[in-house]
Structure 1
Protein backbone atom coordinates (compact mmCIF):
# COMPACT_ATOMS: atom_id res chain seq x y z
CA UNK A 1 0.00 0.00 0.00
CA UNK A 2 1.32 3.44 -0.95
CA UNK A 3 2.02 5.81 1.95
CA UNK A 4 1.59 9.47 1.07
CA UNK A 5 0.76 12.93 2.39
CA UNK A 6 -2.75 13.89 1.28
CA UNK A 7 -1.87 17.61 1.35
CA UNK A 8 0.97 17.49 -1.21
CA UNK A 9 -0.90 18.57 -4.34
CA UNK A 10 2.06 19.18 -6.61
CA UNK A 11 3.58 15.81 -5.72
CA UNK A 12 0.44 14.07 -7.01
CA UNK A 13 0.33 16.12 -10.21
CA UNK A 14 3.91 15.70 -11.40
CA UNK A 15 4.85 12.26 -10.04
CA UNK A 16 4.03 8.97 -11.73
CA UNK A 17 4.28 5.57 -10.08
CA UNK A 18 3.67 1.98 -11.09
CA UNK A 19 0.03 2.06 -10.00
CA UNK A 20 -0.74 5.12 -12.11
CA UNK A 21 -3.29 4.45 -14.83
CA UNK A 22 -1.51 6.69 -17.38
CA UNK A 23 1.18 4.09 -18.08
CA UNK A 24 -1.34 1.28 -18.47
CA UNK A 25 -3.53 3.26 -20.84
CA UNK A 26 -0.77 4.92 -22.89
CA UNK A 27 -0.80 2.48 -25.86
CA UNK A 28 -4.56 2.62 -26.36
CA UNK A 29 -4.55 6.39 -25.78
CA UNK A 30 -2.08 6.80 -28.66
CA UNK A 31 -4.27 4.61 -30.87
CA UNK A 32 -7.40 6.58 -29.98
CA UNK A 33 -5.56 9.86 -30.61
CA UNK A 34 -4.54 8.70 -34.10
CA UNK A 35 -8.09 7.50 -34.78
CA UNK A 36 -9.63 10.83 -33.69
CA UNK A 37 -7.12 12.87 -35.73
CA UNK A 38 -7.74 10.75 -38.84
CA UNK A 39 -11.51 11.03 -38.47
CA UNK A 40 -11.26 14.80 -37.99
CA UNK A 41 -9.13 15.10 -41.12
CA UNK A 42 -11.55 13.04 -43.21
CA UNK A 43 -14.60 15.00 -42.08
CA UNK A 44 -13.20 18.52 -42.32
CA UNK A 45 -10.39 18.39 -44.90
CA UNK A 46 -11.19 15.44 -47.16
CA UNK A 47 -14.98 15.19 -47.39
CA UNK A 48 -15.50 18.89 -46.56
CA UNK A 49 -18.71 18.22 -44.68
CA UNK A 50 -20.79 21.34 -44.18
CA UNK A 51 -21.73 22.87 -40.86
CA UNK A 52 -25.35 21.88 -41.55
CA UNK A 53 -24.55 18.19 -41.90
CA UNK A 54 -26.65 16.02 -39.61
CA UNK A 55 -23.56 14.21 -38.31
CA UNK A 56 -22.71 17.39 -36.42
CA UNK A 57 -25.78 16.87 -34.24
CA UNK A 58 -24.42 13.61 -32.82
CA UNK A 59 -23.14 15.71 -29.90
CA UNK A 60 -26.74 15.74 -28.63
CA UNK A 61 -26.40 12.02 -27.98
CA UNK A 62 -23.13 12.57 -26.11
CA UNK A 63 -24.77 15.09 -23.82
CA UNK A 64 -27.57 12.68 -22.99
CA UNK A 65 -25.32 9.64 -22.48
CA UNK A 66 -22.70 11.59 -20.50
CA UNK A 67 -25.03 11.72 -17.52
CA UNK A 68 -25.72 7.99 -17.76
CA UNK A 69 -22.07 7.00 -17.97
CA UNK A 70 -21.21 9.24 -15.02
CA UNK A 71 -23.83 7.48 -12.87
CA UNK A 72 -22.51 4.06 -13.90
CA UNK A 73 -18.91 4.98 -13.07
CA UNK A 74 -19.87 6.52 -9.72
CA UNK A 75 -21.73 3.35 -8.77
CA UNK A 76 -18.83 1.20 -10.01
CA UNK A 77 -16.23 3.17 -8.03
CA UNK A 78 -18.30 3.26 -4.86
CA UNK A 79 -18.96 -0.47 -5.04
CA UNK A 80 -15.25 -1.22 -5.46
CA UNK A 81 -14.27 1.12 -2.63
CA UNK A 82 -16.85 -0.48 -0.32
CA UNK A 83 -15.16 -3.84 -0.91
CA UNK A 84 -11.73 -2.33 -0.20
CA UNK A 85 -12.94 -0.63 2.98
CA UNK A 86 -14.75 -3.73 4.22
CA UNK A 87 -11.53 -5.70 3.76
CA UNK A 88 -9.67 -3.06 5.79
CA UNK A 89 -12.28 -3.24 8.54
CA UNK A 90 -11.93 -7.02 8.67
CA UNK A 91 -8.17 -6.77 9.15
CA UNK A 92 -8.65 -4.02 11.72
CA UNK A 93 -10.99 -6.36 13.60
CA UNK A 94 -8.34 -9.11 13.37
CA UNK A 95 -5.80 -6.77 14.98
CA UNK A 96 -8.17 -5.86 17.82
CA UNK A 97 -9.33 -9.41 18.47
CA UNK A 98 -5.76 -10.71 18.46
CA UNK A 99 -4.82 -8.12 21.08
CA UNK A 100 -7.91 -8.86 23.15
CA UNK A 101 -7.24 -12.59 23.07
CA UNK A 102 -3.63 -12.03 24.14
CA UNK A 103 -4.74 -9.71 26.96
CA UNK A 104 -7.29 -12.23 28.24
CA UNK A 105 -4.91 -15.19 28.06
CA UNK A 106 -2.24 -13.17 29.87
CA UNK A 107 -4.69 -12.30 32.65
CA UNK A 108 -6.40 -15.68 32.92
CA UNK A 109 -3.56 -18.18 32.58
CA UNK A 110 -0.62 -18.60 34.92
CA UNK A 111 0.97 -21.39 32.89
CA UNK A 112 3.98 -20.15 30.93
CA UNK A 113 3.69 -23.02 28.46
CA UNK A 114 0.11 -22.04 27.57
CA UNK A 115 1.10 -18.40 27.18
CA UNK A 116 3.98 -19.41 24.91
CA UNK A 117 1.58 -21.45 22.76
CA UNK A 118 -0.80 -18.53 22.25
CA UNK A 119 2.15 -16.16 21.75
CA UNK A 120 3.13 -18.24 18.75
CA UNK A 121 -0.26 -19.29 17.37
CA UNK A 122 -2.13 -15.95 17.42
CA UNK A 123 0.34 -14.24 15.04
CA UNK A 124 0.54 -17.46 13.03
CA UNK A 125 -3.16 -17.16 12.20
CA UNK A 126 -2.69 -13.64 10.81
CA UNK A 127 0.35 -14.70 8.77
CA UNK A 128 -1.42 -17.78 7.39
CA UNK A 129 -4.55 -15.79 6.52
CA UNK A 130 -2.45 -13.20 4.64
CA UNK A 131 -0.81 -15.89 2.52
CA UNK A 132 -4.10 -17.72 2.06
CA UNK A 133 -5.79 -14.61 0.63
CA UNK A 134 -2.90 -13.80 -1.71
CA UNK A 135 -2.62 -17.45 -2.86
CA UNK A 136 1.01 -17.61 -1.74
CA UNK A 137 2.70 -20.89 -0.99
CA UNK A 138 2.96 -21.20 2.78
CA UNK A 139 6.43 -22.24 3.84
CA UNK A 140 6.79 -25.27 6.08
CA UNK A 141 9.00 -23.13 8.33
CA UNK A 142 5.88 -21.27 9.44
CA UNK A 143 4.58 -24.52 10.90
CA UNK A 144 7.66 -25.59 12.80
CA UNK A 145 6.73 -27.41 16.00
CA UNK A 146 3.12 -27.74 14.79
CA UNK A 147 2.98 -31.34 13.56
CA UNK A 148 -0.85 -31.29 13.40
CA UNK A 149 -0.81 -29.01 10.34
CA UNK A 150 -1.58 -30.53 6.94
CA UNK A 151 -0.65 -28.58 3.82
CA UNK A 152 -3.46 -29.88 1.62
CA UNK A 153 -6.25 -28.60 3.93
CA UNK A 154 -7.67 -25.13 4.59
CA UNK A 155 -4.81 -23.65 6.61
CA UNK A 156 -6.55 -20.79 8.46
CA UNK A 157 -9.18 -23.26 9.65
CA UNK A 158 -6.47 -25.57 10.91
CA UNK A 159 -4.82 -22.82 12.95
CA UNK A 160 -8.20 -21.74 14.36
CA UNK A 161 -8.96 -25.36 15.23
CA UNK A 162 -5.68 -25.67 17.13
CA UNK A 163 -6.47 -22.50 19.09
CA UNK A 164 -9.93 -23.83 20.01
CA UNK A 165 -8.43 -27.18 20.96
CA UNK A 166 -5.85 -25.53 23.22
CA UNK A 167 -8.50 -23.44 24.98
CA UNK A 168 -10.60 -26.56 25.53
CA UNK A 169 -7.58 -28.45 26.90
CA UNK A 170 -6.97 -25.63 29.38
CA UNK A 171 -10.59 -25.97 30.51
CA UNK A 172 -10.42 -29.78 30.70
CA UNK A 173 -7.26 -29.53 32.81
CA UNK A 174 -9.04 -26.98 35.02
CA UNK A 175 -6.54 -24.26 34.29
CA UNK A 176 -9.44 -22.00 33.41
CA UNK A 177 -13.10 -22.04 34.42
CA UNK A 178 -16.12 -22.39 32.15
CA UNK A 179 -16.82 -18.66 32.44
CA UNK A 180 -13.25 -17.86 31.39
CA UNK A 181 -13.56 -20.22 28.42
CA UNK A 182 -16.66 -18.32 27.32
CA UNK A 183 -14.78 -15.03 27.71
CA UNK A 184 -12.01 -16.01 25.28
CA UNK A 185 -14.39 -17.88 22.94
CA UNK A 186 -15.62 -14.65 21.31
CA UNK A 187 -12.16 -13.75 20.01
CA UNK A 188 -11.48 -17.33 18.87
CA UNK A 189 -14.76 -17.43 16.95
CA UNK A 190 -14.10 -14.02 15.37
CA UNK A 191 -11.00 -15.35 13.60
CA UNK A 192 -13.09 -17.71 11.47
CA UNK A 193 -15.74 -15.02 10.90
CA UNK A 194 -13.07 -12.63 9.62
CA UNK A 195 -11.59 -15.29 7.34
CA UNK A 196 -15.03 -16.04 5.89
CA UNK A 197 -15.74 -12.35 5.26
CA UNK A 198 -12.40 -11.88 3.49
CA UNK A 199 -12.98 -14.96 1.34
CA UNK A 200 -16.43 -13.65 0.40
CA UNK A 201 -14.89 -10.39 -0.83
CA UNK A 202 -12.13 -12.17 -2.71
CA UNK A 203 -14.26 -14.86 -4.34
CA UNK A 204 -17.25 -12.71 -5.35
CA UNK A 205 -16.19 -10.14 -7.97
CA UNK A 206 -18.59 -7.75 -9.64
CA UNK A 207 -20.86 -9.65 -12.09
CA UNK A 208 -19.20 -10.17 -15.46
CA UNK A 209 -22.07 -8.74 -17.51
CA UNK A 210 -21.98 -5.48 -15.55
CA UNK A 211 -18.22 -5.05 -15.88
CA UNK A 212 -18.28 -5.94 -19.59
CA UNK A 213 -21.12 -3.49 -20.27
CA UNK A 214 -19.24 -0.57 -18.68
CA UNK A 215 -16.12 -1.28 -20.75
CA UNK A 216 -18.14 -1.50 -23.98
CA UNK A 217 -20.08 1.63 -23.09
CA UNK A 218 -16.89 3.63 -22.52
CA UNK A 219 -15.30 2.34 -25.73
CA UNK A 220 -18.21 3.10 -28.06
CA UNK A 221 -18.92 6.43 -26.35
CA UNK A 222 -15.34 7.59 -26.88
CA UNK A 223 -15.15 6.20 -30.41
CA UNK A 224 -18.19 8.26 -31.43
CA UNK A 225 -16.91 11.55 -29.97
CA UNK A 226 -14.79 12.66 -32.99
CA UNK A 227 -17.77 12.45 -35.37
CA UNK A 228 -19.47 15.51 -33.90
CA UNK A 229 -16.68 17.47 -32.25
CA UNK A 230 -14.37 17.52 -35.29
CA UNK A 231 -16.42 20.41 -36.76
CA UNK A 232 -15.70 22.65 -33.78
CA UNK A 233 -12.24 21.46 -32.72
CA UNK A 234 -10.58 20.33 -35.96
CA UNK A 235 -7.38 18.44 -35.24
CA UNK A 236 -7.61 19.43 -31.57
CA UNK A 237 -10.31 16.80 -31.28
CA UNK A 238 -7.53 14.19 -30.86
CA UNK A 239 -6.16 15.41 -27.49
CA UNK A 240 -9.67 16.17 -26.23
CA UNK A 241 -10.95 12.67 -27.00
CA UNK A 242 -7.79 11.11 -25.54
CA UNK A 243 -8.27 13.06 -22.31
CA UNK A 244 -11.93 12.05 -22.03
CA UNK A 245 -10.98 8.41 -22.57
CA UNK A 246 -8.20 8.69 -19.96
CA UNK A 247 -10.64 9.98 -17.32
CA UNK A 248 -13.36 7.41 -17.99
CA UNK A 249 -11.06 4.40 -18.41
CA UNK A 250 -8.98 5.37 -15.36
CA UNK A 251 -12.05 5.23 -13.13
CA UNK A 252 -12.79 1.73 -14.38
CA UNK A 253 -9.17 0.61 -13.91
CA UNK A 254 -9.04 2.01 -10.38
CA UNK A 255 -12.28 0.21 -9.53
CA UNK A 256 -10.88 -3.06 -10.91
CA UNK A 257 -7.76 -2.73 -8.78
CA UNK A 258 -9.34 -1.88 -5.44
CA UNK A 259 -12.30 -4.26 -5.67
CA UNK A 260 -9.88 -7.07 -4.74
CA UNK A 261 -8.00 -5.59 -1.75
CA UNK A 262 -6.14 -8.83 -0.99
CA UNK A 263 -3.70 -8.82 -3.89
CA UNK A 264 -0.14 -7.55 -4.27
CA UNK A 265 -0.84 -4.28 -6.10
CA UNK A 266 0.40 -1.02 -4.64
CA UNK A 267 -3.12 0.06 -3.70
CA UNK A 268 -4.03 -3.22 -1.98
CA UNK A 269 -4.17 -3.66 1.77
CA UNK A 270 -0.82 -3.96 3.61
CA UNK A 271 -1.74 -7.33 5.12
CA UNK A 272 1.85 -8.43 5.64
CA UNK A 273 2.63 -5.29 7.63
CA UNK A 274 -0.56 -5.70 9.67
CA UNK A 275 0.28 -9.32 10.47
CA UNK A 276 3.78 -8.27 11.54
CA UNK A 277 2.26 -5.66 13.85
CA UNK A 278 -0.02 -8.32 15.34
CA UNK A 279 3.01 -10.49 16.05
CA UNK A 280 4.81 -7.58 17.69
CA UNK A 281 1.85 -6.60 19.90
CA UNK A 282 1.00 -10.16 20.93
CA UNK A 283 4.59 -10.86 21.93
CA UNK A 284 4.57 -7.69 24.05
CA UNK A 285 1.35 -8.73 25.81
CA UNK A 286 2.33 -12.36 26.38
Structure 2
Protein backbone atom coordinates (compact mmCIF):
# COMPACT_ATOMS: atom_id res chain seq x y z
CA UNK A 1 0.00 0.00 0.00
CA UNK A 2 2.89 2.37 0.77
CA UNK A 3 4.50 1.63 -2.60
CA UNK A 4 1.17 2.18 -4.38
CA UNK A 5 0.84 5.55 -2.62
CA UNK A 6 4.36 6.59 -3.67
CA UNK A 7 3.69 5.44 -7.24
CA UNK A 8 0.42 7.42 -7.38
CA UNK A 9 2.17 10.52 -6.08
CA UNK A 10 4.88 10.24 -8.76
CA UNK A 11 2.28 9.84 -11.53
CA UNK A 12 0.27 12.80 -10.20
CA UNK A 13 3.38 15.01 -10.06
CA UNK A 14 4.49 14.06 -13.59
CA UNK A 15 1.08 14.65 -15.15
CA UNK A 16 0.17 17.83 -13.28
CA UNK A 17 3.52 19.56 -12.78
CA UNK A 18 6.06 18.14 -15.18
CA UNK A 19 4.16 17.17 -18.34
CA UNK A 20 1.16 19.42 -17.62
CA UNK A 21 -1.30 17.09 -19.38
CA UNK A 22 -4.44 18.50 -17.76
CA UNK A 23 -5.84 19.66 -21.11
CA UNK A 24 -5.08 16.44 -22.97
CA UNK A 25 -8.40 14.79 -23.66
CA UNK A 26 -7.12 11.34 -24.60
CA UNK A 27 -5.51 10.95 -21.16
CA UNK A 28 -8.77 11.91 -19.47
CA UNK A 29 -10.57 9.18 -21.43
CA UNK A 30 -8.65 6.52 -19.52
CA UNK A 31 -11.40 6.73 -16.89
CA UNK A 32 -13.83 5.20 -19.39
CA UNK A 33 -11.68 2.06 -19.42
CA UNK A 34 -11.69 1.93 -15.62
CA UNK A 35 -15.47 2.21 -15.51
CA UNK A 36 -15.83 -0.79 -17.83
CA UNK A 37 -13.14 -2.89 -16.18
CA UNK A 38 -14.39 -2.05 -12.68
CA UNK A 39 -17.59 -3.98 -13.35
CA UNK A 40 -15.62 -6.97 -14.66
CA UNK A 41 -13.21 -7.07 -11.74
CA UNK A 42 -16.06 -6.81 -9.23
CA UNK A 43 -17.73 -9.87 -10.78
CA UNK A 44 -14.48 -11.83 -10.68
CA UNK A 45 -13.83 -10.96 -7.04
CA UNK A 46 -17.39 -11.80 -6.00
CA UNK A 47 -17.13 -15.19 -7.69
CA UNK A 48 -13.68 -15.77 -6.18
CA UNK A 49 -14.78 -14.91 -2.65
CA UNK A 50 -18.02 -16.89 -2.88
CA UNK A 51 -16.17 -19.95 -4.17
CA UNK A 52 -13.68 -19.79 -1.31
CA UNK A 53 -16.44 -19.26 1.27
CA UNK A 54 -18.41 -22.21 -0.12
CA UNK A 55 -15.38 -24.43 0.52
CA UNK A 56 -15.05 -23.07 4.08
CA UNK A 57 -18.76 -23.50 4.81
CA UNK A 58 -18.85 -26.97 3.27
CA UNK A 59 -16.02 -27.98 5.60
CA UNK A 60 -17.93 -26.57 8.58
CA UNK A 61 -21.08 -28.47 7.60
CA UNK A 62 -19.14 -31.71 7.33
CA UNK A 63 -17.65 -31.27 10.79
CA UNK A 64 -21.09 -30.41 12.13
CA UNK A 65 -22.29 -33.66 10.59
CA UNK A 66 -19.41 -35.48 12.32
CA UNK A 67 -20.51 -34.02 15.67
CA UNK A 68 -24.07 -35.27 15.17
CA UNK A 69 -22.91 -38.68 13.94
CA UNK A 70 -20.63 -39.18 16.94
CA UNK A 71 -23.37 -38.12 19.36
CA UNK A 72 -25.97 -40.35 17.74
CA UNK A 73 -23.68 -43.38 17.75
CA UNK A 74 -22.71 -42.80 21.38
CA UNK A 75 -26.36 -42.26 22.35
CA UNK A 76 -27.55 -45.47 20.68
CA UNK A 77 -24.70 -47.56 22.09
CA UNK A 78 -25.26 -46.17 25.59
CA UNK A 79 -28.78 -47.60 25.49
CA UNK A 80 -28.05 -50.83 23.62
CA UNK A 81 -24.93 -51.95 25.51
CA UNK A 82 -25.02 -53.13 29.10
CA UNK A 83 -21.38 -54.12 29.64
CA UNK A 84 -19.24 -51.33 31.10
CA UNK A 85 -16.10 -52.52 29.30
CA UNK A 86 -17.85 -52.29 25.93
CA UNK A 87 -19.03 -48.77 26.73
CA UNK A 88 -15.52 -47.81 27.85
CA UNK A 89 -14.14 -48.98 24.49
CA UNK A 90 -16.52 -46.81 22.47
CA UNK A 91 -16.08 -43.91 24.90
CA UNK A 92 -12.45 -43.87 23.81
CA UNK A 93 -12.67 -44.87 20.14
CA UNK A 94 -15.63 -42.78 18.88
CA UNK A 95 -14.10 -39.37 19.75
CA UNK A 96 -10.70 -40.60 18.56
CA UNK A 97 -12.07 -40.64 14.99
CA UNK A 98 -12.56 -36.86 15.08
CA UNK A 99 -9.11 -36.34 16.62
CA UNK A 100 -7.42 -38.55 14.04
CA UNK A 101 -9.32 -36.93 11.16
CA UNK A 102 -8.33 -33.47 12.39
CA UNK A 103 -4.63 -34.45 12.36
CA UNK A 104 -5.02 -36.33 9.09
CA UNK A 105 -6.34 -33.20 7.35
CA UNK A 106 -3.46 -31.13 8.76
CA UNK A 107 -0.84 -33.78 7.87
CA UNK A 108 0.16 -34.17 11.52
CA UNK A 109 1.31 -37.26 13.34
CA UNK A 110 -1.26 -39.07 15.47
CA UNK A 111 -0.34 -39.29 19.15
CA UNK A 112 -0.30 -42.82 20.57
CA UNK A 113 -1.79 -41.41 23.80
CA UNK A 114 -5.19 -41.49 22.09
CA UNK A 115 -5.21 -45.28 22.34
CA UNK A 116 -3.52 -45.94 25.69
CA UNK A 117 -6.57 -47.66 27.21
CA UNK A 118 -7.73 -49.41 24.03
CA UNK A 119 -6.44 -52.51 22.28
CA UNK A 120 -5.88 -50.74 18.97
CA UNK A 121 -2.76 -50.33 16.87
CA UNK A 122 -2.48 -47.64 14.20
CA UNK A 123 -0.31 -48.13 11.12
CA UNK A 124 1.00 -44.66 10.29
CA UNK A 125 1.74 -45.70 6.72
CA UNK A 126 -1.94 -46.34 5.99
CA UNK A 127 -5.08 -44.20 5.97
CA UNK A 128 -5.55 -43.51 9.68
CA UNK A 129 -9.24 -42.43 9.82
CA UNK A 130 -10.19 -45.59 7.91
CA UNK A 131 -8.42 -47.68 10.52
CA UNK A 132 -10.46 -46.09 13.31
CA UNK A 133 -13.71 -46.58 11.39
CA UNK A 134 -12.72 -50.21 10.73
CA UNK A 135 -12.01 -50.76 14.43
CA UNK A 136 -15.42 -49.35 15.41
CA UNK A 137 -17.29 -51.46 12.88
CA UNK A 138 -15.25 -54.55 13.77
CA UNK A 139 -16.10 -54.13 17.47
CA UNK A 140 -19.80 -53.71 16.66
CA UNK A 141 -19.67 -56.85 14.52
CA UNK A 142 -18.05 -58.78 17.38
CA UNK A 143 -20.79 -57.63 19.73
CA UNK A 144 -23.37 -58.77 17.18
CA UNK A 145 -21.78 -62.21 16.99
CA UNK A 146 -21.69 -62.34 20.80
CA UNK A 147 -25.46 -61.65 20.84
CA UNK A 148 -24.96 -58.35 22.66
CA UNK A 149 -26.43 -56.48 19.68
CA UNK A 150 -29.42 -57.73 17.71
CA UNK A 151 -29.74 -57.68 13.93
CA UNK A 152 -32.20 -54.80 14.03
CA UNK A 153 -29.87 -52.78 16.25
CA UNK A 154 -26.99 -53.50 13.88
CA UNK A 155 -29.03 -51.99 11.02
CA UNK A 156 -29.80 -48.93 13.14
CA UNK A 157 -26.08 -48.37 13.78
CA UNK A 158 -25.11 -48.78 10.13
CA UNK A 159 -26.09 -45.22 9.10
CA UNK A 160 -23.68 -43.70 11.63
CA UNK A 161 -20.87 -45.97 10.48
CA UNK A 162 -21.38 -44.93 6.87
CA UNK A 163 -21.53 -41.26 7.82
CA UNK A 164 -17.98 -41.36 9.25
CA UNK A 165 -16.54 -42.31 5.88
CA UNK A 166 -18.75 -39.81 4.03
CA UNK A 167 -17.49 -36.93 6.20
CA UNK A 168 -13.87 -37.97 5.76
CA UNK A 169 -14.24 -38.23 1.99
CA UNK A 170 -15.89 -34.82 1.72
CA UNK A 171 -13.17 -33.15 3.78
CA UNK A 172 -10.44 -34.79 1.71
CA UNK A 173 -12.15 -33.60 -1.48
CA UNK A 174 -12.05 -30.00 -0.22
CA UNK A 175 -8.43 -30.28 0.92
CA UNK A 176 -7.09 -32.02 -2.18
CA UNK A 177 -8.92 -29.90 -4.78
CA UNK A 178 -7.55 -26.35 -4.56
CA UNK A 179 -8.75 -23.39 -6.60
CA UNK A 180 -6.97 -23.56 -10.01
CA UNK A 181 -3.74 -21.57 -9.86
CA UNK A 182 -4.29 -19.94 -13.25
CA UNK A 183 -7.58 -18.44 -12.06
CA UNK A 184 -6.08 -17.03 -8.88
CA UNK A 185 -3.00 -15.71 -10.70
CA UNK A 186 -5.13 -13.98 -13.34
CA UNK A 187 -7.14 -12.09 -10.71
CA UNK A 188 -3.93 -10.89 -9.02
CA UNK A 189 -2.53 -9.64 -12.32
CA UNK A 190 -5.84 -7.99 -13.17
CA UNK A 191 -5.96 -6.14 -9.82
CA UNK A 192 -2.34 -5.04 -10.18
CA UNK A 193 -2.80 -3.71 -13.72
CA UNK A 194 -6.09 -2.03 -12.83
CA UNK A 195 -4.63 -0.20 -9.82
CA UNK A 196 -1.46 0.87 -11.66
CA UNK A 197 -3.49 2.61 -14.36
CA UNK A 198 -5.92 4.35 -11.98
CA UNK A 199 -3.80 7.48 -11.29
CA UNK A 200 -3.37 8.30 -14.98
CA UNK A 201 -7.04 9.09 -15.54
CA UNK A 202 -8.32 10.26 -12.16
CA UNK A 203 -5.49 12.62 -11.31
CA UNK A 204 -7.15 15.41 -13.35
CA UNK A 205 -10.39 15.11 -11.38
CA UNK A 206 -8.90 14.55 -7.92
CA UNK A 207 -5.50 16.20 -8.08
CA UNK A 208 -3.17 14.92 -5.37
CA UNK A 209 -6.17 13.42 -3.58
CA UNK A 210 -5.75 10.60 -6.08
CA UNK A 211 -3.03 9.18 -3.80
CA UNK A 212 -5.28 8.15 -0.84
CA UNK A 213 -8.09 7.20 -3.23
CA UNK A 214 -5.93 4.75 -5.22
CA UNK A 215 -4.40 3.34 -2.02
CA UNK A 216 -7.87 2.70 -0.60
CA UNK A 217 -9.09 1.05 -3.82
CA UNK A 218 -6.01 -1.18 -3.83
CA UNK A 219 -6.65 -2.03 -0.16
CA UNK A 220 -10.22 -3.12 -0.89
CA UNK A 221 -9.44 -5.19 -3.98
CA UNK A 222 -6.33 -6.85 -2.56
CA UNK A 223 -8.07 -7.59 0.74
CA UNK A 224 -10.89 -9.43 -1.00
CA UNK A 225 -8.37 -11.59 -2.83
CA UNK A 226 -6.41 -12.27 0.36
CA UNK A 227 -9.59 -13.16 2.26
CA UNK A 228 -10.45 -15.69 -0.44
CA UNK A 229 -6.95 -17.19 -0.21
CA UNK A 230 -7.22 -17.36 3.57
CA UNK A 231 -10.49 -19.31 3.74
CA UNK A 232 -10.28 -21.52 0.64
CA UNK A 233 -8.36 -24.17 2.63
CA UNK A 234 -10.32 -24.46 5.90
CA UNK A 235 -8.28 -27.32 7.43
CA UNK A 236 -5.20 -25.55 8.75
CA UNK A 237 -3.94 -23.71 11.81
CA UNK A 238 -4.52 -20.16 10.59
CA UNK A 239 -6.81 -17.89 12.67
CA UNK A 240 -9.56 -18.02 10.03
CA UNK A 241 -9.48 -21.80 9.55
CA UNK A 242 -12.07 -24.07 11.07
CA UNK A 243 -11.58 -24.84 14.81
CA UNK A 244 -11.43 -28.58 14.13
CA UNK A 245 -9.37 -29.31 17.24
CA UNK A 246 -11.94 -27.58 19.44
CA UNK A 247 -14.77 -29.45 17.70
CA UNK A 248 -12.94 -32.76 18.26
CA UNK A 249 -12.60 -32.02 21.98
CA UNK A 250 -16.30 -31.15 22.14
CA UNK A 251 -17.12 -34.52 20.55
CA UNK A 252 -14.99 -36.26 23.16
CA UNK A 253 -16.80 -34.44 25.97
CA UNK A 254 -20.22 -35.37 24.58
CA UNK A 255 -19.31 -39.05 24.09
CA UNK A 256 -17.95 -39.35 27.62
CA UNK A 257 -21.15 -37.82 29.03
CA UNK A 258 -23.37 -40.17 27.02
CA UNK A 259 -21.43 -43.38 27.64
CA UNK A 260 -20.64 -42.92 31.35
Deviations 1:50-94 (A, max 9, x none): 323311110000001111111111111111111111111101111
Which residue pairs with 1:264 in the alignment? 237
- In 1, distance between residues paired with 2:211 and 2:67? 50
- In 1, distance between residues paired with 2:92 and 2:22? 78
- In 1, distance between residues paired with 2:22 and 2:229? 42
Contact 1:134 1:263 in 2 (8 A): yes
**Post-superposition offset of 1:152:** 1.6
Which residue pairs with 1:252 in the alignment? 225
Aligned residue runs from structure 1 range 149-168, under 5 A: 149-168=122-141
Which residue pairs with 2:69 in the alignment? 97
**Post-superposition offset of 1:143:** 3.0
- In 1, distance between residues paired with 2:236 and 2:44? 25
Alignment counterpart, residue 84 of structure 1, candidates 56, 74, 79: 56
Superposition RMSD on alpha carbons, in Å? 1.1
Q: Secondary structure at the match of 1:262?
A: coil
Which residue pairs with 1:175 in the alignment? 148
**Post-superposition offset of 1:147:** 4.1
Aligned residue runs from structure 1 range 130-209, under 5 A: 130-144=102-116, 145-209=118-182
Deviations 1:152-171 (A, max 9, x none): 21111111110011011111
Aligned residue runs from structure 1 range 1-286, under 5 A: 29-144=1-116, 145-286=118-259
Contact 1:77 1:255 in 2 (8 A): yes
- In 1, distance between residues paired with 2:220 and 2:22? 31
- In 2, distance between residues paired with 1:157 and 1:214? 38
Contact 2:92 2:115 in 1 (8 A): no
Deviations 1:116-146 (A, max 9, x none): 1100001100111111112222222223244
Deviations 1:213-271 (A, max 9, x none): 11111110001101111112222211111100000010111011111111111111111
Aligned length: 258
Unaligned segments of structure 2, at least 5 residues: none
Contact 1:41 1:234 in 2 (8 A): no
- In 1, distance between residues paired with 2:112 and 2:257? 25
Give the alignment's TM-score, normalised by structure 1. Answer: 0.88
Distance 1:257 1:146, change over 3 A: farther
Contact 1:222 1:244 in 2 (8 A): yes
